[in-house]
């Protein structure tokens, strides 16, 4: 039997990919905990749409800072020791969120003339900002690990497994929240219990990834340096611009739906908590399927003789078409049977675009991939934070989600145009 902890074993790379998937799952469960309890917190702590948008904005800006910081640290020190640090950091931030109910927190953060719930709002803002800072470290650590252990041919599918943890976490979270409520647990149970589970990931990581496991000598990537000639300055600049456009539009699309879908279903369409939980779960199940199928489609086309870049662009174009259906969501109506299938196609489209982006980003110079991918993520999250704040204010003022869904659906088309027009063969 192959030892899953032996980096020379044939299955070790996929065991590590499983650990990356689990880390992504925990990352998204901590992230989704707020959106799934937002309606309850809105009533309890006067968390209106504008305040909610500001919390999402704080998370996004912190994610932008953390992307650059941890990208640099990942290049400098490697992911083996850094990865557990960031995971412990975001898990503890999730646990600390539960103190929003504390009277001591309210007294410390809320003035006599402040509106009701200000202290809890400020505490949630601080905790979610810290959460965003540390969650950003997941992606450079995961991408460097995947690049180090997988061959170029295996990366699209490996990236799909990594990214599929996002939708798996988003599927589990609403059902987990629903089960907790049915058992009589309060909102704070969701936050601290997910955080505790996150801490248990650390010993798993150290059991799989031992000292030296991620060294170049320990993995099979001999073909990687020869897979393409070195980029010249202009070629690098072109590709970096394309990657910046793609990751920004994908972030805007994915994060809008992630943050606002539960509220949209409950508060705009009047869905019950159970109906909303199932609708969100189905959305993310479809996203998970779309993500894995996209990576598998690129690999299959390449295995059948198609040029890898042509395969990437073709799959990217089809999945952009699925994502564009988000612009039609406001016109579908309230019916679960009509609305949810459209949302499922949107989810399959937008998440399926991510592994293709990661494969493109893994063609960046290996020595600085963590920092470069961190800079790209930082640009994304500054944009996402600005958009989330503006969307929150817009929804509060108009009560309409139409603009948000239109932007979410059509934004990836800009990434497709950049890929077609600006990305040049070396």
Buried b (16+ CB within 10 A) or exposed e, 307-343: ebbebbbebbeebbebbbbbbebbeeeeeeeebbebb
403 occurs within a structural domain: yes
Structural tokens at position 212:
């030296």
166 occurs within a structural domain: yes
Cα–Cα distance, 362 to 356 (Å, whole number):
10
318 occurs within a structural domain: yes
Model pLDDT, residue 2? 53
Structural tokens at position 86:
């960031």
Q: CA torsion angle for 350, 355, 361, 363 (degrees, to 10)? A: -150
Cα–Cα distance, 259 to 177 (Å, whole number):
16
pLDDT digits (tens, 9 = 90+) for 156-173: 778 888 888 877 887 888
Contact 31, 172 (CB under 8 A): no
Model pLDDT, residue 130? 96
Cα–Cα distance, 149 to 146 (Å, whole number):
5
Model pLDDT, residue 369? 78
Phi, psi of 302, deg, nearest 5: -65, -40
Structural tokens at position 417:
């145009």
Closest CA to 250 of 59, 406, 374, 415: 415
337 occurs within a structural domain: yes
Model pLDDT, residue 225? 41
Structural tokens at position 40:
């309850």
Quote the domain boundaries for residue 241. 12-209+228-421
Q: How far is CA 125 from CA 54, 61, 88, 105, 226, in A?
A: 8, 12, 19, 13, 47
260 occurs within a structural domain: yes
5 occurs within a structural domain: no
Model pLDDT, residue 49? 79
Structural tokens at position 405:
């869904």
Q: How far is CA 24 from CA 119, 129, 136, 162, 320, in A?
A: 31, 18, 11, 7, 23
Model pLDDT, residue 222? 36
Contact 143, 362 (CB under 8 A): yes
Model pLDDT, residue 347? 94
Model pLDDT, residue 116? 62
Cα–Cα distance, 237 to 245 (Å, whole number):
12
Under DSSP, the state recorded for 266 is I
Q: Where are the alpha helices (DSSP H) in 46-117?
A: 49-77, 79-96, 103-109
Model pLDDT, residue 221? 46
199 occurs within a structural domain: yes
389 occurs within a structural domain: yes
Question: Which CATH number characterizes residue 185's domain?
Answer: 1.20.1250.20
Structural tokens at position 413:
């088309």
Q: How far is CA 98 from CA 14, 25, 191, 222, 372, in A?
A: 35, 21, 7, 48, 35
Model pLDDT, residue 197? 93
Cα–Cα distance, 416 to 357 (Å, whole number):
11
Cα–Cα distance, 345 to 283 (Å, whole number):
8
Residue ranges in the chain modelled with pLDDT below 50: 1, 217-227
- DSSP assignment string, 170-226: HHHHHHHHHHHHHTT--HHHHHHHHHHHHHTHHHHHHHHS-TTTTSGGGS--TTSTT
Which residue carries 């252990």 as its tokens?
Answer: 149
Q: Structural domain tally of the chain?
A: 1
């Amino acid at each position: 039997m192959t030892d899953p902890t032996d980096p020379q074993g044939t299955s070790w790379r996929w065991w590590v990919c499983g650990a990356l998937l689990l880390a992504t799952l925990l990352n998204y469960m901590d992230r989704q905990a707020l959106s799934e309890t937002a309606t309850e917190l809105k009533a309890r702590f006067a968390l209106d749409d504008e305040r909610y948008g500001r919390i999402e904005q704080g998370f996004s800006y912190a994610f932008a800072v953390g992307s650059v910081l941890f990208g640099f640290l990942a290049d400098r020190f490697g992911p083996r020791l850094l990865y557990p640090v960031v995971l412990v950091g975001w898990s503890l931030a999730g646990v600390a969120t539960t103190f929003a109910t504390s009277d001591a927190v309210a007294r410390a953060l809320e003035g006599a003339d402040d509106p009701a719930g200000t202290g809890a709002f400020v505490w949630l803002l601080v905790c979610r900002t810290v959460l965003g800072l540390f969650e950003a470290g997941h992606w450079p650590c995961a991408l460097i690990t995947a690049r180090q252990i997988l061959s170029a041919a295996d990366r699209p599918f490996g990236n799909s497994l990594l990214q599929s943890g996002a939708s798996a976490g988003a599927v589990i979270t609403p059902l987990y929240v629903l089960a907790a409520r049915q058992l009589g647990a309060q909102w704070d149970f969701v936050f601290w219990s997910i955080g505790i589970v996150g801490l248990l990931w650390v010993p798993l990581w150290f059991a799989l990834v031992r000292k030296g496991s991620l060294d170049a000598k320990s993995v099979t990537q001999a073909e990687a340096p020869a897979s393409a000639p070195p980029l010249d300055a202009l070629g690098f600049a072109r590709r970096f611009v394309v990657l910046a456009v793609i990751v920004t539009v994908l972030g805007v699309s994915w994060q809008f739906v992630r943050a606002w879908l539960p509220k949209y279903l409950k508060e705009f369409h009047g869905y019950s908590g159970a109906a909303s939980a199932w609708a969100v779960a189905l959305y993310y199940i479809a996203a998970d399927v779309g993500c894995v199928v996209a990576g598998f489609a690129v690999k299959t086309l390449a295995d059948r003789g198609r040029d890898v870049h042509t395969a990437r662009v073709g799959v990217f174009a089809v999945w952009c078409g699925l994502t564009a259906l988000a612009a039609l969501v406001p016109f579908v109506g309230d019916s679960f049977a009509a609305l949810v299938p459209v949302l499922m196609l949107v989810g399959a489209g937008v998440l399926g675009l991510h592994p293709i982006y990661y494969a493109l980003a893994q063609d960046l110079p290996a020595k600085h991939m963590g920092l470069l991918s961190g800079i790209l993520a930082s640009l994304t999250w500054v944009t996402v934070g600005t958009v989330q704040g503006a969307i929150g204010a817009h929804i509060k003022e108009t009560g309409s989600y139409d603009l948000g869904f239109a932007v979410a659906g059509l934004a990836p088309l800009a990434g497709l145009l950049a890929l077609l027009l600006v990305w040049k063969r070396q």
